[in-house]
A = this chain, B = another copy of it.
Amino acid sequence: MRITIIGSGNVATHLAAALKNAGHRIVQVYSRDMQNAALLAYHVKAEAIDGLQDIDPETDLFLIAVKDDAIMSMAQSLAQYQKLTVHTSGATALSVLSSIIPNSGVFYLLQTLSKNKEVDFLNVPLCIEGANEQITCELEQLAHTISNKVYRIDSAQRKILHLAAVFACNFPNYLYEVSRQLLARQNIDFELIRPLILETAQKVQGNLPLDVQTGPAARNDQNTMDMHLQMLQDEPGLKMIYELLSQGIIKNAKGDIERK
């Protein structure tokens, strides 16, 4: 497929590389910032452009990977070419695109991407939605060229998935950082806690999180929780987080016992 990449952020970068590796041809990379466009274009042997008037209409797919609030204006600029156009946003409905370009879809990567960390694309879940069955099939085929995990997910489901991903990824990563900061104050190396973080994530690969919950709240160990809250007394924000999450764990544990 001939593919034009609109954007040069994390999603654009990883997706362009994966598609290029799978044998597709990246025609152009567009970014408002020529330096960013050029950097990504160089990696995927494409032409870099920083003006939408330079778009090459000889492409099969416009892949929009820009900030959510810029998707609509991109769609308006690209509509004239009448090519298959997809966005990659978890939080944006297909209708934002399909109301402007009938020949459109969504290509959502359910993964956390950083520019300086490679990712095993074959295991990245790709969530596909097309404005009609033919487009969905076409996007599914494209997705299968780079990943073994391709799912049909409509806009309502994707909205929930995106929210769930915040709880499963962004928030845990923030809590890792809280943990790092607590240790740093006592000159304890974050290295000590890294195996614990990895094992916690590995445990839920084959189990449900509820079944492997550990810690003071899971045991309803009030003494330890009180001691921890005491240790956090100068950090009202962290103290409140500790209380809320512990309450959630206690509530889940109770529900679990009632079910059994």
Which of A's residues lie within 8 Å of B, judged by CB?
Answer: 10, 67-69, 91, 110-114, 116-117, 119, 123-125, 127, 149, 151, 153, 156-157, 159-180, 182-183, 185-186, 188, 190, 192-219, 221, 223-224, 227-228, 231-232, 237, 240-242, 244-245, 247-249, 251-252
- Contact between A231 and B165 (Cβ–Cβ < 8 Å)? no
Q: Verify B68–A193 contact, CB threshold 8 A.
A: no
A168-B160 contact given A111-B195, A240-B244, A244-B241, CB 8 Å threshold: no
Q: Are A216 and B124 in contact (CB under 8 A)?
A: no
Q: Name the contact of A197 in the complex, choosing from B168, B190, B221 (C-beta under 8 A).
A: B168
Q: Chain B residues near A161 (CB, 8 Å)?
A: 183, 188, 192-193
Contact in complex: B244, A248 (CB < 8 Å): no
A-B contact pairs, 9 of them (CB 8 A): A114-B211, A127-B192, A167-B242, A169-B196, A172-B197, A174-B248, A177-B210, A177-B252, A198-B202
Given contacts A177-B209, A244-B237, contact A172 B198 (CB under 8 A): no
Cross-interface CB contact of A245 among B113, B171, B203, B247, cutoff 8 Å? B171
Of B157, B242, B252, the contact of A166 (CB 8 Å cutoff): B242
Chain B residue contacts of A232, Cβ below 8 A = 163
Given contacts A117-B207, A183-B160, A240-B244, contact A110 B193 (CB under 8 A): yes
Apart from the given pairs A167-B182, A171-B241, A173-B204, 8 other A-B contacts in the complex at a CB distance below 8 Å: A69-B223, A112-B200, A112-B212, A114-B203, A117-B212, A167-B242, A172-B197, A176-B209
